[in-house]
Chains A and B, each alone.
Chain A
Amino acid sequence: MEGVFTQTLVSGILIGFIYALIAVGLTMIFGMMDIVNFAHGEYLMVAMYFAYWFFVLFGMDPLFSLPLVTVLLFLLGVITYYIFIRPIISAPMLSQIFVTFGILILLRGVAQYLWNADYRMIPQTLTSGNVSIFGVYTGVSQLIAAAGAVICNGLIFWFLKSTKLGMALEAVSEDKEAARLMGINSDRMFALAWGIGIATVGVAGGLLSSFYYVFPEVGSNFCLMAFVVVALGGFGSVPGAFIAGIIVGLVEVLSGYLIAPSLKFMFVLFLYLGVVFIRPQGFMGRK
């Protein structure tokens, strides 16, 4: 029995890392420019399709196509910024919400048009199979994905705190005017933030594609979780998202195992509501 419990715990932490990785781009974009990207999950879907097609057309394992997918998603993020986001950067919140919602529906529509509603999955990858560590079983792909998530989150954190470019990004998000006076082009910084934010979902999508199926609405499976993670960790906080991701993963798995699987989402959402009511800015959010 104890073994089963440890096993559940490990699974929760592993999926939590993935949530954190998906959430980190969302939280970064929000922190920079106060826009919630409701289409975030759809970019994940696009990344998963890219990984899938790289495999089908060129036989590339998702692990190898990962850098390509990341670069493509980075470009997609930058393009999205210039076409859709720049015009509404200082528009009221409602317009911003609807533009990102529009992107959500647009990407789903395009995916359905191009690739129809079939469920697709890469059958065998280099990382297929499972391993047992101290009696705890886990899929190799999940392990690699979790490791990738930790590395990627660490890199983003390091980038924002310790590189010149990252600090410029932070400066813009703190105070646009002051940054401008310091000679930082905020427009370009925003584009960069979108690029990086979407590129991180690209990493997540590439990693997920080796053990999760893809179809046009796959984004919605993860998106709600990502929102909860972001809000819980505090909009704009990278370490907050990391911790919140693990907490959400654990709550989901443990409530599912100990109480009732069909109610597991409810517990996650209640956790979210509970936390935001007591501390509206989340664990580590700035006010």
Chain B
Amino acid sequence: MWKFLRVFFAAVMVLSFTSLACAQNEIRIGVIFPLTGPLATTGQGLLKGAELAADIINNKYNLNMPLAKTAGLPNLKGAKIKIIPGDHQGKPEVGMAEAERLITQEKVVAIIGCYNSAVTATAAQAAERYGIPFLNDSSSSPSLTEKGFKWFFRTTPHDDMFSENFFIFLNDLKKKKKITVGPIALLYENTLFGADSRKYQEMYAKKYGYQISGAVPYPAKSTQLTSEIQKLRSYNPSIIMQTSYTADAILSMKTYKDLNFAPTALIANDAGFNDPDLIKSLGKDADYILSREVWAKDLSAKKPMIKTVADMFEKIAGKPMSGDYARSFTGMIVLADAINRAKSTEPAKIQKALSETNIKADQLIMPWDGVKFDPKTHQNVLGKGIIVQVQKGERYTVWPFNLATKDVIWPFPKWETRK
């Protein structure tokens, strides 16, 4: 027994002393993503996005974005950003523990994370307790910025804004194409993300005068979605608004086809529908899906810098840039910009600098109007979504019309007329 205890406590001691003394000219930033577990692929990509941003900040690049042209942070004598990764596996209590570990052991001055909204909630609470700035780059649950956190900032638009985008898009389309829009039915995964989306879609449908004829929640990990889609069909919708993760997005598209069900349009709410695996898995059956996105490569038509960054990402990550990865990239840039303006690594000064953030649209790789946080909620008020459509196996921006590179194909063609 003794031997075991000795060994065990030795292990614990070693663990607790591993915290390294920080090198002087290094700014340690914690980055917490789901690096293992079911969301590992996305998590690894998110980390790569942040790493690319750190590389651009730490070295000289000729890009029109904050801190790119200098090496390191000029206001801190060229100090370099060092990323300390943390893995939360999609579990709220692990996210909390990782935030605490990074703050207390790794002595990070700020944290970026966590992708899953439920994990961001607990990790942000930990940061709040220790008074460390927490920049949320990619969680879209609106409740996160409604809790009055002092140290919490969010750059990405949330589901509330995104849902409104859907209806503005429909209004714009009505005007432009003289189409009529019938009843809308909702299909969503019954989790935090799906339930939130439904709430806001229903709210904005009412506000913009659209009729919702039914909403179908389904459990994750279904072996089949036939009954869900039959139910959806019985609501006789002209438009389906769907919120699904990759697996169910693939399965539902297969099922639509198998049951020969083609509504006028399918508008998806990001997540699974923007996963590169979707087009890979479905081939040409993925065509004509409309999806809310936060980013698309063809935005480079208006901002060539986007292509440069996307190519750099593909080189280091071995896979194409996506909206999620672009957001973790942007999160890191925004945070570094604030630290530079704070001229200090003191949390309170960083917090103050973050709340004074004002980055212009042309300095971002996002389709946003800029980055500026609401003084109370700390939500970026200039964020904006876009809508992309899959056309011949590629995603193209189709809305807002001023950023569009392709025209919307409307309606969604019937399955039997497709080649």
CA distance A225 to B227 in the complex (A): 16
Q: Is B221's CB within 8 Å of the partner chain A?
A: yes
The answer, among B219, B234, B246, B275, for a CB contact under 8 Å with A265, is: B219
Q: Are A119 and B227 in contact (CB under 8 A)?
A: no
Task: Tell me if B224 and A124 are in contact (CB < 8 A).
Answer: no
The answer on a CB contact under 8 Å between B246 and A119 is: yes
Mask of A1-36 contacts with B, CB within 8 angstroms, 1/0 = 100100110011001001100000000000000000
Q: Given A130-B415, A142-B258, A262-B190, are A118 and B227 also a contact pair (CB < 8 Å)?
A: no
Q: Quick check: is A68 within 8 A (CB to CB) of the other chain?
A: no
- Residue pair A132, B260 in contact (C-beta under 8 Å): yes
Report if A148 contacts B (CB, 8 A): no
Chain B residues, Cβ within 8 Å of A254: 227
CA distance A118 to B282 in the complex (A): 14
In the complex, what residue of chain A is closest to B221 when comparing beta carbons? A221
- A213 located at the interface, meaning its Cβ lies under 8 Å from any Cβ of chain B in the complex: yes
Interface flag for B38 (CB, 8 Å): yes
Residues from chain B with a CB closer than 8 A to the CB of A118 are 41, 277
Tell me how far the C-beta of A153 lies from the nearest C-beta in chain B, rounded to whole angstroms.
18
Which residues from chain B contact A217 at a C-beta distance below 8 Å? Answer: 38
Chain A, 91-134, contact with B by CB distance < 8 Å: what is the 0/1 string?
00000000000000000000010001111110110000010100
Is B281 in contact with chain A by the CB < 8 A criterion?
yes
Q: Does chain A have a CB within 8 A of B216?
A: yes
Known: A11-B226, A137-B260. A211 touches B217 (CB 8 A): no
**Set of chain B residues within 8 Å of A257, measured between Cβ atoms:** 227, 230-231
A15→B224 contact, CB < 8 A: yes
Q: How many residues of A contact B (CB 8 A)?
A: 44
Closest to A220 in B: B221
Chain A residues lying within 8 Å of B338, measured Cβ to Cβ, are none
Q: Among B118-126, B247-255, B381-389, which stretch is in contact with chain A?
A: B247-255
Q: Is the CB of B258 within 8 A of A139?
A: yes
Cβ distance B255 to chain A, nearest Cβ, rounded Å: 8
Write the nearest CB–CB distance from B84 to chain A, whole angstroms. 23
Question: Cα distance A142–B259 when bound, in Å?
Answer: 12
* B37–A117 CB distance below 8 A: yes
Considering the complex, which residues of chain A in the window 15-73 have a beta carbon less than 8 Å from any beta carbon of chain B?
15, 18-19
Contact across chains for A119 and B224 when beta carbons are under 8 A apart: no
Q: Which residues of B contact A256 (CB under 8 A)?
A: 218, 226-228, 231
Among B216, B227, B247, B415, max chain A CB count under 10 A is at: B227
Q: Is the CB of B230 within 8 A of A264?
A: no
Question: Does B223 belong to the interface (CB within 8 Å)?
Answer: yes
Interface centre among A4, A11, A137, A256 (most CB of B within 10 A): A256
CB distance from B329 to the nearest CB of A (A): 21
Which residues of chain A are near B216, meaning CB under 8 Å? Answer: 261
Most chain B beta carbons < 10 A, residue from A12, A112, A217, A257: A257
Does B69 touch A at the CB level, under 8 Å? no
Tell me if A272 counts as interface (CB < 8 A to partner B). no
Q: Judge if A138 is at the interface, Cβ distance under 8 Å.
A: yes
Chain A residue at minimum C-beta to C-beta distance from B261:
A137
Known interface pairs A123-B281, A139-B254. Does A4 touch B227 (Cβ–Cβ under 8 Å)?
A: no
Chain A hits for B280, CB < 8 A: 120-121, 123
In the complex, whether B39 has a CB less than 8 A from a CB of chain A is: yes
Residue of B nearest to A211 (CB): B254
Which residues of the partner chain A approach B233 to less than 8 Å between Cβ atoms?
A: 4
- Neighbouring A residues of B217 by C-beta, 8 Å: 260-262
Residues of A contacting B257 in the complex (Cβ-Cβ under 8 angstroms) = 130, 139
Q: Is there an interface contact between B231 and A116, defined as CB atoms closer than 8 Å? A: no
Which residues of A have CB within 8 Å of B219?
261-262, 264-265
Name B260's contact: one of A117, A130, A220 (CB within 8 Å). A130
Interchain CA distance A112-B41 in the complex, whole Å: 10
B37 touches A119 (CB 8 A): no
Instruction: Please tell me if the beta carbons of A7 and B230 are within 8 angstroms of each other in the complex.
Output: yes
- Is A253 a contact partner of B227 (Cβ separation < 8 A)? yes
B79 within 8 A of A: no
Minimum C-beta distance from A57 to chain B (A): 16
Determine if A252 and B227 form an interchain contact, defined as CB atoms under 8 angstroms apart.
yes
A210-227 residues with Cβ-Cβ distance < 8 A to B are 211-213, 215, 217, 220-222, 225
- Which A-chain residue is minimally distant from B281 (CB atoms)? A121
Q: Are A253 and B224 in contact (CB under 8 A)?
A: yes
**Among the listed B38, B254, B282, which residue makes an inter-chain contact with A117, where contact means beta carbons less than 8 Å apart?**
B38
Q: How far is it, in angstroms, between the C-alpha of A138 and the C-alpha of B261 when the chains are bound?
A: 11
B283 touches A (CB below 8 Å): yes
Residues from chain A with a CB closer than 8 A to the CB of B221 are: 220-221
Measured CB to CB, the closest approach of chain A to B204, in angstroms, equals 23
Q: Which residue, A11, A225, A261, has most C-beta atoms of chain B within 10 A?
A: A261
A112, A119, A261, A262: the one contacting B247 at CB < 8 Å is: A119
A7 to chain B minimum Cβ distance, whole angstroms, is 6
Find residues 200-238 in chain B having any chain A CB closer than 8 Å to their own CB: 216-219, 221-224, 226-228, 230-231, 233-234
In the complex, whether B161 has a CB less than 8 A from a CB of chain A is: no
The reply to whether the CB of B359 lies closer than 8 angstroms to some CB of chain A is no
List B contacts of A220 (CB < 8 A). 221
Interchain CA distance A11-B255 in the complex, whole Å: 10
**Pairwise interchain contact B282-A121, C-beta atoms closer than 8 A:** yes
With contact pairs A4-B234, A121-B250, A221-B221 given, residues A213 and B227 touching in the complex (Cβ less than 8 Å): no
B173 / chain A contacts, CB cutoff of 8 Å: none
**Interchain CA distance A252-B219 in the complex, whole Å:** 12
Contacting residues, chain A, for B39 (C-beta < 8 A): 117
Per-residue CB contact flags for chain B residues 26-43 toward chain A (1 = under 8 Å, else 0) read 000000000001111100
Q: List residues of chain B with CB within 8 A of the CB of A262.
A: 190, 217-219
Return 29 A-B CB contacts under 8 Å, by A number. Answer: A1-B234, A8-B226, A11-B227, A11-B230, A11-B259, A116-B41, A117-B37, A117-B38, A117-B41, A119-B281, A121-B250, A121-B280, A123-B281, A130-B257, A130-B260, A130-B415, A139-B254, A139-B257, A213-B246, A213-B251, A221-B222, A253-B226, A256-B218, A256-B231, A261-B217, A261-B228, A262-B190, A262-B217, A264-B227
- Having A138-B258, A252-B227, one finds 4 other A-B pairs with CB under 8 Å, namely A123-B281, A130-B415, A211-B258, A252-B224
Top 5 A-B pairs, shortest CB-CB distance? A256-B227, A121-B281, A139-B258, A123-B283, A11-B226
